[in-house]
Amino acid sequence: MIPLTMAEVAEATGGRLHNADGSETVTGSVEFDSRRVTPGGLFIAMPGEKVDGHDFAAQAVAQGAVGVLAAREVDAPSVIVPPVTEAHRRSVALTGDRDGSGAAVLAGLARLARHVVDRLDRLTVVGVTGSSGKTSTKDLISQVLTPLGPTVAPPGSFNNELGHPWTALRATADTRFLVLELSARGPGHIAALCDVAPPRIGVVLNVGSAHVGEFGSREGIAQTKGELVEKLPEDGVAVLNADDPLVAAMASRTRARVVLVGEAMNAHIRAVDIRLDEQARASFTMVTPNGSADVALGLHGAHHVGNALSAAAVALEAGATPEQAARALSDARRVSARRMEVITRPDGVTVVNDSYNANPESVRAALKTLAAMARTGNRRRSWAVLGVMAELGAESVAAHDEIGRLAVRLDINRLVVVGEQAAPMHRGASLEGSWGEESVLVPDVDAAVALLRAELAPGDVVLVKASKSAALWRVADALLESPQGETR
Ligand SMILES: Nc1ncnc2c1ncn2[C@@H]1O[C@H](COP(=O)(O)OP(=O)(O)OP(=O)(O)O)[C@@H](O)[C@H]1O
Ligand SMILES: [Mg+2]
């Protein structure tokens, strides 16, 4: 973070000093976890489900924190933030935040982040939203921008009211680009994140059915995702997916210049001649208004073509040539774990670990990738180990059924459906015609692992994917640990 006195922190957050005279200067980063505090840092005291950060204020100071941002008085130099309204507490809906003190601290943190971002006049903020691919694309954007200037991007999927300001506060006077992932659990959330660090470039990837249970409809999701482009300034740029009608339609909701990306003829930045190699990595020619360049992605799955075009659009806006953007995209590697992580064991079994999370669109993308990997080269036996896709509300049974049927249509050889909640996938697959023994329903992760250990053969390709709650990463981890030996 840029150096700030505690008096400035108090002013920026609207809080008051406690046990501090205001001259103490924060020079390090902000942290929620007292164990992560480094000398000069600012500790953010958040109440959690099990422990309350306020009880760790003294420990944070002992670790070197200059001060604490808190909702109530603690035995440490601190800034006490003002309370928030009950309506605000409910809209933030933090688990474990019974009295609203967590929402109050986060509101203070958001104001602090905005204060810092406003002072960094060399900074370009890039925001990414969409139903699927935010983290993957954020990682691509950060890799294409890094050659152009110092870039700050969050690790993993820091995309909510905690991770977003935490990341913004990592920007310093040297930072040229701040890349942020924006997610929403309800209307107004994306707009609120935009107020914390106002993006000049906004990327909307797609509108799927993730969280449709909470939003009511895909149009409801589009309404919320589009808050990003509504917030862009007149001299900003909205990067929109030309291949997704609900995203392309957002062009009418922004004052910013619109750059369309995709395979559609009307896209300003297009991918043509897309090919997949035996590991389902895409190569294509990127056609831009300033010339064409060839891209060979290191990421697995055709769905990354659209993500890559979005990242290219950002790079071109930031001053890269098409050749530079294409080279950076071709050099880019997967950064965040358990997203299309492809590992081949010494015995020749390939595990596609996509167990981080799942929704219908990302499962479709992953199944198509699996089918492509099995199809190319020597025909390999394909396995899809799938668990529940959560938070789909009334669409849940139909969505699971549809995935089961898709697995059959894509000629996946074996489908292992894990857990009763995902059972409609198994039923859909079984009803889709010729399938008899090819689909099985197993009760849990242990049963899935036992089945796979008994039946996997050299050369097989196994996709593992489900929503976080199903914890299918345990299947992937079990497949990748010994007795096959050292694999990572
Ligand atoms: N454009 C895309 N279309 C469909 N699926 C995609 C796309 N990009 C990535 N995915 C897949 O979606 C899953 C989640 O990817 P990623 O973590 O990048 O998305 P996210 O939007 O950040 O997710 P979350 O909302 O959980 O943070 C992965 O399985 C990934 O392979
Ligand atoms: Mg994410």
In this predicted model, what pLDDT tens digit does every residue of 225-269 receive, in sequence order?
A: 999 999 999 999 999 999 999 999 999 999 999 999 999 999 999
Ligand number nearest CA of 156 is 2
pLDDT of 385 reads: 98
Cβ atoms of 389 and 400 within 8 Å: the answer is: yes
How sure is the predictor about 433, in pLDDT bands with cuts at 50, 70 and 90? confident
447/316 Cα distance (integer angstroms): 49
Contacts 24+ apart (CB under 8 A), 150-154: 150/174, 150/175, 150/176, 150/177, 151/175, 151/176, 151/177, 151/178, 151/179, 152/177, 152/178, 152/179, 153/178, 153/179, 153/180, 154/179, 154/180, 154/181
> With 60 as the cut, is the pLDDT of residue 484 above it?
no
How sure is the predictor about 185, in pLDDT bands with cuts at 50, 70 and 90? confident
> With 90 as the cut, is the pLDDT of residue 158 above it?
no
| Residue 365 tokens, joined | 């993308």
Task: Please tell me the distance between residue 234's alpha carbon and the centre of ligand 2 in angstroms.
Answer: 28
> With 60 as the cut, is the pLDDT of residue 485 above it?
no
> With 60 as the cut, is the pLDDT of residue 443 above it?
yes
Task: Please tell me the distance between residue 309's alpha carbon and the centre of ligand 2 in angstroms.
Answer: 18
226/116 Cα distance (integer angstroms): 25
29/3 Cα distance (integer angstroms): 10
Task: Please tell me the distance between residue 372's alpha carbon and the centre of ligand 1 in angstroms.
Answer: 18
Question: If you average pLDDT over residues 411-416, what whole number do you get?
Answer: 95
pLDDT of 208 reads: 87
pLDDT of 424 reads: 96
Task: Please tell me the distance between residue 213's alpha carbon and the centre of ligand 2 in angstroms.
Answer: 19
Residue nearest (by alpha carbon) to ligand 1 atom 26: 357
50 alpha carbon, distance to own chain's centre: 26
Task: Please tell me the distance between residue 356's alpha carbon and the centre of ligand 2 in angstroms.
Answer: 9
Query: In the 8-state DSSP scheme, what is residue 52?
Result: B
pLDDT of 155 reads: 86
Instruction: Mean pLDDT check: name the lowest of 39-48, 167-176, 370-379.
Output: 370-379
41 alpha carbon, distance to own chain's centre: 26
105-130 per-position pLDDT tens digit: 999 999 999 999 999 999 999 999 99
How sure is the predictor about 210, in pLDDT bands with cuts at 50, 70 and 90? low
Ligand number nearest CA of 473 is 1
Cβ atoms of 15 and 108 within 8 Å: the answer is: yes
> With 70 as the cut, is the pLDDT of residue 212 above it?
no
| Residue 217 tokens, joined | 């409809």
Cβ atoms of 400 and 477 within 8 Å: the answer is: no
488/481 Cα distance (integer angstroms): 9
Mean per-residue pLDDT of the chain: 93
132/475 Cα distance (integer angstroms): 22
336-369 per-position pLDDT tens digit: 889 999 999 999 999 999 999 999 999 999 999 9
Task: Please tell me the distance between residue 133's alpha carbon and the centre of ligand 2 in angstroms.
Answer: 7
- Measured from the Cα of 361, ligand 1's closest atom is 4
Helices (H), 303-395: 304-317, 322-331, 360-375
- Pick the closest to residue 404 from 382, 380, 386 (CA basis): 386
- Residues paired with residue 343 on neighbouring β-strands, in sequence order: 351
137/437 Cα distance (integer angstroms): 38
Ligand 1-lining residues (CB < 6 angstroms): 130, 132-136, 157, 159, 183, 205-206, 301, 303, 306-307, 339-340, 354, 356-357, 361-362, 365-366
461 alpha carbon, distance to own chain's centre: 25
- Measured from the Cα of 336, ligand 1's closest atom is 17
- Phi and psi, residue 65, nearest 5°: -60, 140
Instruction: Mean pLDDT check: name the lowest of 199-203, 226-230, 393-397.
Output: 393-397
Ligand number nearest CA of 356 is 1
- Site to probe by mutation for ligand 1, drawn from 129, 131, 134, 136 as the one with most ligand atoms within 8 Å of Cβ, is 136
Cα Rg, the chain, nearest whole Å:
24
Question: If you average pLDDT over residues 268-292, what whole number do you get?
Answer: 97
> With 90 as the cut, is the pLDDT of residue 379 above it?
no
Question: If you average pLDDT over residues 168-189, what whole number do you get?
Answer: 94
Between 483 and 291, name the one with better pLDDT.
291
Q: Which amino acid is at 327?
A: R
Task: Please tell me the distance between residue 135's alpha carbon and the centre of ligand 1 in angstroms.
Answer: 7
- Site to probe by mutation for ligand 1, drawn from 263, 274, 362, 472 as the one with most ligand atoms within 8 Å of Cβ, is 362
272/258 Cα distance (integer angstroms): 21
Residue nearest (by alpha carbon) to ligand 1 atom 23: 132
State the helix-helix crossing angle for 304-317 and 134-145, rounded to 10 degrees: 40
| Residue 153 tokens, joined | 């991007």
| Residue 400 tokens, joined | 């699971």
Tokens 């079994």 correspond to what residue?
349
Cβ atoms of 322 and 293 within 8 Å: the answer is: yes
Task: Please tell me the distance between residue 354's alpha carbon and the centre of ligand 1 in angstroms.
Answer: 9
Cβ atoms of 274 and 282 within 8 Å: the answer is: yes
241/470 Cα distance (integer angstroms): 30
Question: If you average pLDDT over residues 212-230, what whole number do you get?
Answer: 87
C-alpha distances (whole Å) from 236 to each of 114, 204, 324, 423 are 18, 14, 22, 46
- Site to probe by mutation for ligand 1, drawn from 131, 132, 164 as the one with most ligand atoms within 8 Å of Cβ, is 132
Residue nearest (by alpha carbon) to ligand 1 atom 10: 133
Residue nearest (by alpha carbon) to ligand 1 atom 11: 362
165/154 Cα distance (integer angstroms): 10
- Provide, rounded to the nearest whole percent, the portion of the chain with pLDDT above 90: 84
- Provide, rounded to the nearest whole percent, the portion of the chain with pLDDT above 70: 97
Tokens 């905005």 correspond to what residue?
114
> With 90 as the cut, is the pLDDT of residue 446 above it?
yes
Question: If you average pLDDT over residues 360-380, what whole number do you get?
Answer: 91
Residue nearest (by alpha carbon) to ligand 1 atom 15: 133
Pairing status of strand 237-241 against strand 201-204 = parallel
3-30 per-position pLDDT tens digit: 999 999 999 999 999 999 999 999 999 9
